[in-house]
Amino acid sequence: MSEKYDVVVIGAGPAGYVASIKAAQLGFKTACVEQWLDEKGKVQLGGTCLNVGCIPSKALLDSSHKYAEARDGLEIHGISVKKPTIDVPLMLARKQTIVDQLTGGIAGLFKHNGVTAISGKGKVLVGAKVEVTNAAGEVMEIEADKIIVAAGSLPVNIPPAPIDNEYIIDSTGALELTDVPGRLGVIGAGVIGLELGSVWRRLGSEVVMLEALDTFLPMMDIQIAKETGKILKKQGLDIRLGARVTKAEVKKGKVEVTYSTAEGEHTESFDKLIVAVGRKPHSEGLFATDSGLTLDERGYIYVNEYCETEAPNVYAVGDVVRGPMLAHKGSEEGVMVVERIAGKQAQMNYDCIPSVIYTHPEIAAVGKTEQELKADGVEYKIGVFPFAASGRALAANDSEGMVKLIAHAETDRILGCHIVGPSAADLVQQVVIAMEFGSSAEDLALTVFSHPALSEAVHEAALAVDGQAIHIANRKKR
Active site residue ranges:
451
Q: Which residues contact 6 (CB under 8 A, 6 or more apart)?
A: 23, 28, 29, 30, 144, 145, 146
Note the maximum CA span of the chain: 76
> 293: how many CB neighbours lie within 10 A of its CB?
23
Kindly report the backbone phi and psi dihedral angles of residue 303, in degrees, each rounded to the nearest multiple of 5, phi listed first.
-140, 160
Q: How far is Cα 123 from Cα 245, in angstroms, rounded to an integer?
A: 36
Interstrand relation of 183-187 and 272-275 (parallel, antiparallel or unpaired): parallel
Interstrand relation of 414-421 and 362-367 (parallel, antiparallel or unpaired): antiparallel
Q: Which residues contact 85 (CB under 8 A, 6 or more apart)?
A: none
> Of 409, 468, 393, 461, which is closest to residue 431 (Cα–Cα)?
461
Q: Which residues contact 370 (CB under 8 A, 6 or more apart)?
A: 221, 222, 223, 380, 382, 404, 406, 416
DSSP 8-state symbol, 293: -
Q: Which residues contact 478 (CB under 8 A, 6 or more apart)?
A: none
Q: Which residues contact 217 (CB under 8 A, 6 or more apart)?
A: 189, 190, 225, 228, 229, 357, 363
